[in-house]
Structure 1
């Protein structure tokens, strides 16, 4: 039993630190996802070893010390997404009917999902101003046609490759683009919306291809798409929202790089994980569906909605345009090393395409 605990603990420790290797192969990048799933069994091993065995050799002292450091590291990485951390997006005290309010619902529908009516009922129930549905094809576009009676403004890009997008808005669309920033079959959305107060905001909808078997052997393409969206958000003159299935966890190196490059804020920080994937396996869940906002917004509400047939849970967020000098001062800032890393990744893809 003692040797078994040592072996299991060592494997968990190696996997816990493996994501720090900056190789972009999928199985190394995937190691950045399960911090909580690694921390819990490692904590059990740590406590069991202290209770059951005497520590009387250098090997055991090293094991206990390294295990403790690894547990602290896991806590450090996930603590921002607990109530032990202060809010990055401050809470609004305005009434929900404010003219500068914005309710957003995002959902990776899972293209083969047949429970379309359940998603429609969620839209009717939560009454969002904006709906972004990804992994949508022509079948889903047909099934969501009733939403056209509610949302006068739409952008449609249905695809049969699981990367289609459908966008519905109550707010007038001043400008719209469907871009293929990195890969010819992976669209992203850019729209300028006019709020009832006549204020114009920029919204980006994203769903990059994940580093995973059967999808992409590396994270380079996903990373570069997030980098490019982040850089665009950084220089925007309007308030910005970026939403969608990023196929990356909130605490990963790439998502944190995206935040520093864009200066955008994460409303989950200080509030919870809001794990959206995998909806079918509760032991393997992490936050893949994201909403990031510029410092111009405060949060009224954020919820993970009940599952309606997909492998993702829908996400609902309600914001209010309420600029705060403190949020502007404390927004994530990129350093020279961030710009260098972003440039190197973009250059790598450019050279491969040449």
Structure 2
């Protein structure tokens, strides 16, 4: 029993600390990694609290302290994920009626570059018939084996790469001023285009896939955060109806995503509807939301769903939105950044750019 008690203390302290660590403003991967599994940590903490109560009770002071800290940790973790539970009010309104002329639908799929089950992906796309298809982690092999999509999608933008950050965008709707940009890192592309809806309206599309804050990809979240917040600033400054989509390698409940939403004044259709976890498709107990869609107030939701497994470590995600600018006042984004938050955004972007420049200089010396 003594060994069991020691093990229980160690596990309790570990998960209490894992709750507190992300509160510290550090970008290191070993801190940021604990932002992802908040729901899993809540479940573990609940189980640990139950074990304490069953086997040791509240008689000893140490027991009471540990159980109290576990309780505080559970409350904090739930506070962070609360917006993405059914208990929270929704942020995006369901469109009263879907008008095909003003609607836009898309499938976003991280294909996992080494995955070879391309037929399953194409079959999912064939069934859903989205207006847009965004494929991530695409190299030349994937470009070759998905070229059948060109028969269905007359407009496309392609940037296949062998570093797991290639992107391909297919569209039934006309793409205008479509460009591949490298916002922070010279090896990490993003796609920017105007999409002409069937109604004739024009909206801006941003497709992103920054590096995750996990070795060996990156030792910190600095450049990922910088890319997301830079995209948020672009949306803010352009003041156009816009959609941001892709594998952001960040979870919906992170501080960075919240800053992105406040900066861009975009809405998250998952708020009040659920997690819509897309990663890891191979490990059911370790899943969280990495693939995202955000939209301006001018859009309302028709459909949002996670699609079946296609061989990747990500599930594809499908959404359909209606462009209803006349009803934009019915939806409210998060409050705009405070002066302090705006300063944080600017400093994060600057820090990410400086970090990339420093790494480039070091590579040139080598």
Structure 1 length-normalised TM:
0.96
Conserved? CA contact 1:175–1:193, under 8 Å: no
Alignment of 1:149-164 (within 5 A): 149-164=151-166
Take 2:280 and 2:335, find their aligned partners in 1: how far apart are those partners?
Answer: 28
Q: Name 2:214's counterpart in structure 1.
A: 212
Q: Name 1:126's counterpart in structure 2.
A: 128
Deviates more, 1:43-52 or 1:253-262: 43-52
Structure 2 length-normalised TM:
0.93
Q: Name 2:175's counterpart in structure 1.
A: 173
Measured after TM superposition, the shift of residue 327 of structure 1 is 4.5
CA deviation profile, 1:55-101 (whole Å, cap 9, x unmatched): 12332222121111111111111121111111111111213x53111
What RMSD, in angstroms, separates the aligned Cα atoms of the two structures? Answer: 1.4
Deviates more, 1:328-337 or 1:237-246: 328-337
Are the structure 2 counterparts of residues 245 and 56 from structure 1 closer, same or farther at C-alpha, using a change threshold of 3 Å? same
Take 1:115 and 1:178, find their aligned partners in 2: how far apart are those partners?
Answer: 26
Take 2:310 and 2:354, find their aligned partners in 1: how far apart are those partners?
Answer: 42
Conserved? CA contact 1:89–1:327, under 8 Å: no
Q: Residue 178 of structure 1: SS of its match in structure 2? A: strand
Take 2:160 and 2:353, find their aligned partners in 1: how far apart are those partners?
Answer: 27
Measured after TM superposition, the shift of residue 41 of structure 1 is 1.3
CA deviation profile, 1:15-69 (whole Å, cap 9, x unmatched): 1111112111111111111111111111011122223323123322221211111
CA deviation profile, 1:176-234 (whole Å, cap 9, x unmatched): 11100101110000000110111000000000011111111111111110011000011
Q: Name 1:113's counterpart in structure 2.
A: 115
Measured after TM superposition, the shift of residue 142 of structure 1 is 1.0
Q: Residue 308 of structure 1: SS of its match in structure 2? A: coil
Unpaired runs of at least 5, structure 2: 359-366
* 2:32 counterpart (29, 46, 49): 29
Take 2:106 and 2:299, find their aligned partners in 1: how far apart are those partners?
Answer: 13
* 1:245 counterpart (236, 244, 247): 247
Measured after TM superposition, the shift of residue 325 of structure 1 is 4.1
Alignment of 1:1-354 (within 5 A): 1-95=4-98, 97-323=99-325, 324-352=327-355, 353=357
Take 2:141 and 2:240, find their aligned partners in 1: how far apart are those partners?
Answer: 35
Q: Residue 285 of structure 1: SS of its match in structure 2? A: coil
Are the structure 2 counterparts of residues 8 and 208 from structure 1 closer, same or farther at C-alpha, using a change threshold of 3 Å? same
Measured after TM superposition, the shift of residue 236 of structure 1 is 2.3
Take 1:84 and 1:187, find their aligned partners in 2: how far apart are those partners?
Answer: 37
Measured after TM superposition, the shift of residue 284 of structure 1 is 1.2
Unpaired runs of at least 5, structure 1: none
Take 1:277 and 1:337, find their aligned partners in 2: how far apart are those partners?
Answer: 33
Q: Residue 113 of structure 2: SS of its match in structure 1? A: coil
Q: Residue 294 of structure 2: SS of its match in structure 1? A: strand
